[in-house]
């Protein structure tokens, strides 16, 4: 078991480079199953969820050539299995994308139920609704999702809930379906657009990703195409933006798409943080000299304020002047980190989907436990600003989504190190 030890109170300064987006990459690797040939994927984050995706690809017969730490070639020509065991699927959420891609190409999938962060109930009814709207028969029993897609064809899908996962799974399933599929009430996150861009580059015909309506004209086969670079990680960039604001530092974040950061930028500016975007829209400088002001945050699907930045913002609000509020609009249970922050001296009262933050003057180092990925990021931020030493346990959650997090913070001047217990 590993943990992070942080001696807080250092002002963070310097440049940090952002990696490819976890939530795009974990969908694009399963999307490679659709290709009857090879593809090369670049700007892959070096995180544990990507290793799991690669293990699954190899277990079903794909060949992977590791070109560099951030780039791989996948040859899906000889995939010969459509079964994926629950032992691996329950280790992360995005394993459910293999259902959509196997169904599309092989008309059959038997995939274990997905795992992932515990953020409350995480049903997959909308994924199943989408597969069924395309004519698939889906059965969920004994921890296995079995889908028969022999009679699949294009169709009309209306999602009851705006869901990133269901939108991407519907795209994957429809890409090789005969006829036209329309998907309404879809998620518009940058990673949804990235999956569609990847598939189009490989020969698919997907229009409208990033809008409310996605139209897919099924193609017979994807043959592969030029190498594809994953979009930069909006949430990783946002996490370093908060690091600058909370430590009263000055950080320039490179290899990001500033447009994707708009909801975070707007909220930080409202709180008195200076955010400067470069003209090319691919770097952002964040600095802050005074105590931040109170704010109200409500998480919503993109382009609303991202739920995956909620815990990190919670740290900033804990230390801001006055009373702040967060309303969680996506997940039932995303305030577990607040109990850990309270151990460090924060004054947060969380009930259901709403939390009230009474700003305190400082946090004090403590031993805290990361219950999920973004909770872990938030506790690291809290440790960086706290007086004294913080030990963050449960960092395997953080390693699922942040590449070399302690090394990046060390380069910005933090006193943080990883130790094995």
Q: Which residues are catalytic?
A: 117
Interactions with ligand EPU, residue window 242-261 (CB under 6 A):
none
**254 with 225: CB under 8 angstroms?**
no
291 burial via Cβ count (<10 Å: 0-12, 13-18, 19+): middle
When the beta carbons of 86 and 272 are compared against ligand EPU, the nearer one is 86
CA atoms within 13 A on the CB side of 30: 32
Strand ranges for 69-212 from DSSP E: 71-75, 83-84, 108-112, 137-141, 144-148, 156-158, 180-184, 206-207
Q: How far is the CB of 121 from ligand EPU (least distance, A)?
A: 6
Residues 361-420 that bind ligand EPU (CB under 6 A): 373-374, 401
Please give the C-alpha separations between residue 170 and each of 108, 135, 224, 324, 348, in angstroms, as whole numbers.
Answer: 15, 12, 20, 38, 39
CB of 258 to ligand EPU, least distance (A): 20
Nearest to 25 by CA among 182, 233, 295, 203: 233
- Using CB under 6 A as the binding criterion, the count of chain residues that bind ligand EPU stands at 25
User: CA 62, CA 82: separation in Å to the nearest integer?
Assistant: 12
Residue 44 as a binder of ligand EPU (CB under 6 A): the answer is no
Nearest approach in angstroms of CB 157 to ligand EPU is 12
Q: Which is nearer to ligand EPU, 195 or 243 (by Cβ)?
A: 195
By beta-carbon proximity to ligand EPU, the closer residue of 331 and 357 is: 331
C-alpha count within 13 angstroms, C-beta hemisphere, residue 231: 23
Q: Which residues contact 290 (CB under 8 A, 6 or more apart)?
A: 272
Q: Report yes or no: 3 and 391 within 8 Å, Cβ to Cβ.
A: yes
- Closer to ligand EPU by CB, 121 or 420: give it: 121
Does 308 bind ligand EPU (CB under 6 A)? Our answer is yes
Q: Which two tokens stand for residue 183?
A: 């998907």
Output 218 or 301, the one with its CB closest to ligand EPU: 301
Q: By CB under 6 A, is residue 331 in contact with ligand EPU? A: yes
Cβ atoms within 10 Å of 307's Cβ, excluding its own: 19
Site for ligand EPU in 182-201 (CB under 6 A): 187
Q: In the complex, what is the shortest distance from the CB of residue 113 to ligand EPU, in angstroms, rounded to a whole number?
A: 12
Given 14, 123, 281, 322, the residue binding ligand EPU (CB under 6 A): 123
Coil vs helix vs strand at 360: coil
Nearest distance from residue 80's CB to ligand EPU, in Å? 27
Q: Which is nearer to ligand EPU, 105 or 334 (CB)?
A: 334
Contact 94, 27 (CB under 8 A): yes
| 307 touching ligand EPU, by CB under 6 A | yes
- Burial of residue 40, with CB atoms counted within 10 A of its CB: 0-12 exposed, 13-18 middle, 19 or more buried: middle
Distance CA 1, CA 107 (A): 41
- Asked whether the beta carbons of 17 and 412 are under 8 A apart, the reply is no
Which residue in 36, 163, 320, 338 binds ligand EPU (CB under 6 A)? 163
Minimum Å distance from CB 164 to ligand EPU? 4
Q: Name which position in 23, 95, 197, 247 contacts ligand EPU (CB under 6 A).
A: 23
Check binding of 236 to ligand EPU (CB under 6 A).
Answer: no
Closer residue to ligand EPU, CB minimum distance, 166 or 219: 166
Only segment of 121-129, 220-228, 269-277, 387-395 that touches ligand EPU (CB under 6 A): 121-129
165 binds ligand EPU (CB under 6 A): yes
Q: Which residue is nearest to ligand EPU (CB)?
A: 165
Site residues, ligand EPU (CB under 6 A): 23, 26, 93-94, 117, 121-127, 161, 163-166, 187, 307-308, 330-331, 373-374, 401
């Amino acid at each position: 078991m590993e943990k992070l030890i942080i001696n807080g109170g250092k002002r963070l300064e310097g440049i940090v480079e952002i990696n490819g987006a976890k939530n795009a990459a974990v969908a694009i690797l399963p999307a490679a199953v659709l290709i009857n040939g090879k593809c090369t994927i670049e700007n892959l984050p070096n995180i544990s969820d990507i290793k799991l995706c690669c293990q699954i690809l190899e277990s079903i017969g794909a060949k992977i050539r590791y070109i560099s730490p951030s780039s791989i070639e996948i040859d899906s020509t000889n995939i010969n299995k459509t079964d994926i065991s629950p032992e691996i699927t329950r280790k992360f959420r995005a394993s459910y994308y293999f259902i959509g891609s196997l169904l599309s190409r092989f008309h059959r999938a038997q995939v274990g139920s997905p795992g992932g962060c515990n953020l409350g109930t995480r049903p997959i009814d909308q994924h199943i609704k989408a597969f069924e709207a395309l004519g698939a028969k889906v059965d969920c029993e004994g921890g296995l999702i079995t889908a028969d897609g022999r009679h699949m064809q294009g169709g009309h899908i209306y999602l009851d809930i705006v869901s990133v996962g269901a939108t991407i799974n519907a795209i994957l399933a429809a890409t090789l379906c005969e006829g036209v599929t329309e998907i309404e009430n879809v998620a518009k996150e940058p990673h949804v657009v990235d999956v569609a861009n990847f598939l189009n580059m490989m020969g698919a015909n997907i229009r409208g990703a990033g809008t409310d309506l996605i139209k897919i004209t099924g193609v017979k086969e994807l043959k592969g195409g030029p190498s594809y670079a994953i979009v930069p990680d909006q949430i990783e960039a946002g996490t370093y933006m908060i690091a600058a604001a909370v430590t009263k530092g000055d950080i320039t974040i490179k290899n990001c798409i500033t447009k994707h950061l708009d909801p975070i930028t707007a909220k930080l500016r409202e709180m008195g943080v200076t955010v400067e975007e470069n003209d090319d829209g691919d770097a952002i400088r964040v600095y802050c000299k005074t105590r931040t002001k109170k704010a109200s945050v409500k998480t919503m699907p993109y382009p609303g304020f991202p739920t995956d930045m909620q815990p990190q913002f919670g740290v900033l609000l804990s230390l801001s002047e006055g009373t702040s509020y967060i309303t969680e609009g996506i997940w039932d249970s995303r305030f577990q980190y607040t109990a850990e922050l309270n151990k460090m001296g924060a004054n947060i009262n969380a009930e259901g989907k709403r939390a009230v933050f009474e700003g305190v003057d400082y946090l004090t180092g403590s031993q805290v436990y990361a219950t999920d990925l973004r909770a872990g990021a938030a506790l690291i931020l809290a440790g960086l600003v706290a007086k004294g030493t913080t030990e963050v346990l449960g960092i395997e959650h953080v390693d699922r989504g942040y590449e070399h997090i302690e090394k990046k913070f060390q380069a910005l001047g933090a006193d943080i190190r990883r130790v094995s217990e």
